[in-house]
A = this chain, B = another copy of it.
Amino acid sequence: MIRPPARVGDAVEAVDTPALIVDLAALERNLDRMAAFAERANVRLRPHAKTHKCAMIARKQLARGAVGVCCQKVSEAEAMVAGGVADVLVSNEIVGKPKVECLAALAREARVTVLADHSDQVAAYGAAADRYGVVLSVLVELRNAGDRRPGVDSGQAALDLARRIAGTPGLRFAGLQAYQGKVQHIRDFSERRAAALAWVEEVAAARALLEENGLACDLITGGGTGTYAFEGASGVFYEIQPGSYVVMDADYGLNLDENGRYVSDFENSLFILGTVMSRNSGAYAVIDAGVKAGNIDKAMPTVWGRPGLTYVAAADEHGSIEVSAEAGEGPRLGEKLRLVPGHCDPTINLHDWIVGVRDDTVEAVWPVTARGAVF
């Protein structure tokens, strides 16, 4: 783990770059808004910790009423439990002996739920639960037949697997995981809603089939930052699991609301702070933040609050910023710029530290406790 880029009490201007900074006031407003939605919609909120990987942020979510967190990896769940989270849903199938052992061991420390889409996983979970003397709650993952995700793609397959789980000592059949990734990023509001609602219907049908067969679903969980409002208000989902809403990113910022404007439920609270380190051309500036400081798999970073500056290309350690006439003379050598990450989850996973700022002062330096927790 590399030294922190700032100390509490520093001026933001003194933060070493590139660094991940979070605007604490905007973060808190995002946390409050999602908590208020969940309360209004009478749906449980289990934010996804794969976005922030930071126990300090997870605890803020719990303090506002979240029932626990989702994690995508066992090692990520370990970091969250070590950081004070008592209820973790590992929203993924866990395959391989080292991982399944750790999963069962973790269930001694916290409430642990996990997914299955195959009977081999169920058998491995049951054997490990038995070895560690714990009970693992298991959800069947449903997937949209068109998606290349994990999951079973029919109610009948879900029923078969649920029976297998219910009949395995050490396991408890808990319900359904039904998250759709691609739908989150459909830009048009009506199309996004239609896709989400069609999915809600499929999930309702699967639930009905399970219940007709005596397998009650205590939990039906899914929904992300792009669709949480649909699943949350559906009456079919008992829980929503958005992640990106805490920080947002350039990609999510392209989603449109019902009025055809960019979504504004949540604010950009996360930025890559960078320094212009070369400025030998009027047409562009080079910033010290490339793909090792911000992931570009979904979208390029954008330059925050500086019209006319466009981040157009990322090398490993350099970003090229095009300077148009609108930007006047453009940024000076040594100037610090805030970039909105293109894709928040993998960007946070690049950094060991999140620097919390309020106005112009560093108020917090949080370790990204589950950074690199990929297994």
Contact = CB atoms under 8 A, between A and B. Distances in A.
B286 A72 contact: no
Interface string A66-93: 0000001101000100000000000011
Contacts of A117: 278, 280
Given A280-B152, A318-B149, A17 B96 contact: yes
A75 B278 contact: no
Contacts of A16: 96, 98-99, 375
Contacts of A284: 148
Nearest to A289: B374
Interface in A341-365: 345-346, 349-352
Contacts of A352: 372
Given A317-B92, A334-B95, A346-B291, A118 B278 contact: yes
Contacts of A292: 345-346, 349, 374
B150 A278 contact: yes
Interface in A171-206: 181
A120 interface: yes
Interface in A220-279: 275-279
For this chain, the copies found in one complex come to: 2
Given A95-B275, A149-B286, A291-B297, 16 more contacts: A1-B372, A2-B371, A16-B96, A16-B98, A50-B317, A72-B316, A72-B317, A95-B278, A95-B334, A117-B278, A118-B280, A148-B286, A148-B313, A153-B280, A291-B295, A296-B297
Contact of A181 (B151, B315, B349): B315
Interface residues of A, number: 73
A288 interface: yes
A40 interface: no
A246 to B, nearest CB: 15
B297 A334 contact: no
B149 A92 contact: no
A2 B372 contact: yes
Contact of A317 (B73, B148, B334): B73
Contacts of A293: 374
Contacts of A279: 118
A41 interface: no
A374 B99 contact: no
A125 B54 CA distance: 36
Interface in A272-328: 275-281, 284, 286, 288-289, 291-293, 295-297, 312-318, 320
